[in-house]
Amino acid sequence: MIELIKSKVILTILVALGALVLLLGAFSAGVHVGERKVHYRGHGVFGKILSVSGSTLVVQGKDNVEQNVLVSTSTVIRVGREQGSLADIHADNQAAVFGTPNDQGQIDARLIRLFPAR
């Protein structure tokens, strides 16, 4: 057994396997960190409000992609620099929405800043 370990071929294979295990571990850790960043990082959309239905908005963002936005009681709404409310949100307003994505692909809004319609 000792002669087998002293063999250069076996030693090279063991070193290569060890390096492969280390690389796979580093890759796995990187993927895990990246997934956590995506999950906890804020998301948003800037564009024209197409519709308001209860506490759900549809905002037309970049490249005409429509994004569903959920407004909750903890969502901060600003009209310019003033405090606003859900009643201030109307179709054709321009809005910047910041929040986090949920499992249905919607944005749970933390902050909505409204701008006058163009």
pLDDT confidence tier of residue 97, bands split at 50, 70 and 90: very high
- What is the pLDDT, as a whole number, of residue 47? 94
Cα 63 to Cα 89, 97, 99, 101: the distances in Å are 22, 16, 20, 19
Q: Which two tokens stand for residue 66?
A: 């429509």
Identity of residue 48: K
- Whole-angstrom distance, CA of residue 58 vs CA of residue 37: 26
- Whole-angstrom distance, CA of residue 21 vs CA of residue 13: 12
- What is the pLDDT, as a whole number, of residue 109? 95
- What is the pLDDT, as a whole number, of residue 8? 84
